[in-house]
């Protein structure tokens, strides 16, 4: 019987011969590659350990100074961190803290969340203070805390920057008032454009509410050197934005307003 001829391509079932290489044959190459990589990984591991250490110490100092219930989240940016520590200056540090209390005899307003972006963070020789060459910060203030500070239940208004308050008057009548929030000097939140938008409020009641909003709320728990730039409204509260130069942090909690 005549066999078919295959011209050009090999027989479909033919596979080119490839020598078998057992695992033990390939293992030395893997070991050699790992040995070459190991020295390069050591500095990275050491640097990451140093970063974790300084982040932990920064969180501890911040918690002590701001009296937060839990340590904040701290992230030291930039590589390597060891060279930054050697120069006693951390180039960029991000800190996010929650539930910063406000100790004030009149209308205390806690900060629900404070996010800090610090540039060139250094510390004093006796570790009593830390300084940032410049800083940006965002503070979030819940409507629950704002309501407690004002003595009125407030919520987001219908226009940007506006808050709304409802007042119940006997016998079950409701009066709605609105006011606009803004940044005032000295890290204070001011209220402007007070207006009755629903219901009828007696003259005496209008005068009382006007006085409630006439006095700005002082923010007492902001690191020294940060200055309030703007206040906006959101569904869950107010957002206050700060910036500043030569911002000071004191572990003993002596930060100024």
**Contact in structure between 222 and 255 (CB atoms under 8 Å):** yes
CA distance 59 to 98: 12
Report if residue 29 sits inside a domain.
yes
Residue 26 has pLDDT above 60, yes or no: no
pLDDT, greater one: 196 or 24 = 196
Q: How far apart are CA 256 and CA 186, in angstroms?
A: 10
Is 8 inside any structural domain? Answer: no
pLDDT computed for residue 16 by the predictor? 53
Give the residue numbers spanning the domain of 22: 17-252
Total domain count, the chain: 1
Question: pTM to 2 decimals?
Answer: 0.78
The DSSP bridge pattern shows strands 227-233 and 237-249 to be antiparallel
pLDDT tens column, 43-101:
677 888 888 998 998 899 888 888 899 999 999 998 888 888 888 999 999 999 999 99
**Residue 144 covered by a domain:** yes
Residue 5 belongs to a domain:
no
Instruction: Check residue 192 and give its pLDDT.
Output: 94
Specify the range with the lowest mean pLDDT, choosing from 66-70, 101-105, 110-114.
101-105
pLDDT at 197 over 50: yes
Helices (runs of H) and strands (runs of E) counted in the chain: 4, 11
Sheet of 173-184, strand order: 154-156, 162-169, 173-184, 188-198, 217-218
Give 19's pLDDT tier (boundaries 50, 70, 90).
Answer: low
pLDDT at 254: 42
Q: What is the pLDDT of residues 139-191, one digit of tens each?
A: 999 999 999 999 899 999 999 999 999 888 777 778 899 999 999 999 999 99
The pLDDT value given to residue 144: 96
Q: Is residue 10 part of a domain?
A: no
What share of the chain in percent tops pLDDT 70? 80
224 lies in a domain?
Answer: yes
Give the separation between CA 47 and CA 84, rounded to whole angstroms.
10
Q: Sheet containing 90-100: which strands, arranged edge to edge?
A: 73-77, 90-100, 111-123, 130-142, 237-249, 227-233
Sequence-separated (6 or more) residues with CB below 8 Å from residue 48: none
Residue 38's pLDDT band, with cuts at 50, 70 and 90, is: very low
- In whole angstroms, what is the distance from residue 13 CA to residue 70 CA? 69
7 found inside a domain: no
Q: Tell me if 9 is assigned to some domain.
A: no
């Amino acid at each position: 019987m005549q066999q078919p001829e295959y011209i050009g391509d090999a027989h479909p079932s033919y596979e080119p011969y490839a020598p078998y290489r057992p695992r033990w044959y390939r293992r030395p190459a893997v070991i050699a590659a790992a040995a070459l990589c190991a020295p390069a990984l050591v500095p990275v591991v050491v640097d990451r350990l140093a970063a974790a250490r300084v982040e932990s110490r920064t969180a501890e100092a911040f918690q002590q100074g701001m009296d937060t219930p839990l340590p904040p989240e701290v992230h030291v940016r930039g590589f390597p961190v060891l060279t930054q520590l050697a120069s006693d200056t951390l180039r960029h540090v991000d800190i996010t803290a929650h539930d910063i209390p406000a100790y004030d005899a009149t209308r205390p307003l806690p900060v629900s969340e404070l996010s800090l972006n610090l540039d060139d963070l250094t510390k004093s020789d006796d570790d009593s203070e830390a300084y940032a060459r410049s800083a940006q910060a965002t503070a979030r203030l819940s409507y629950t805390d704002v309501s407690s500070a004002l003595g009125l239940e407030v919520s987001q208004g219908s226009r940007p920057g506006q808050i709304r308050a409802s007042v119940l008057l006997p016998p079950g009548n409701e009066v709605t008032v609105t006011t606009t929030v803004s940044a005032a000097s000295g890290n204070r939140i001011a209220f402007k454009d007070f207006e009755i938008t629903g219901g009828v409020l007696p003259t005496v009641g209008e005068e009382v509410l006007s006085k409630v909003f006439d006095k700005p709320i002082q923010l007492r728990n902001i690191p020294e050197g940060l200055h309030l730039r703007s206040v906006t409204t959101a569904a869950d509260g107010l957002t206050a934005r700060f910036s500043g130069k030569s911002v000071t942090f004191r572990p003993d909690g002596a930060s100024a307003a």
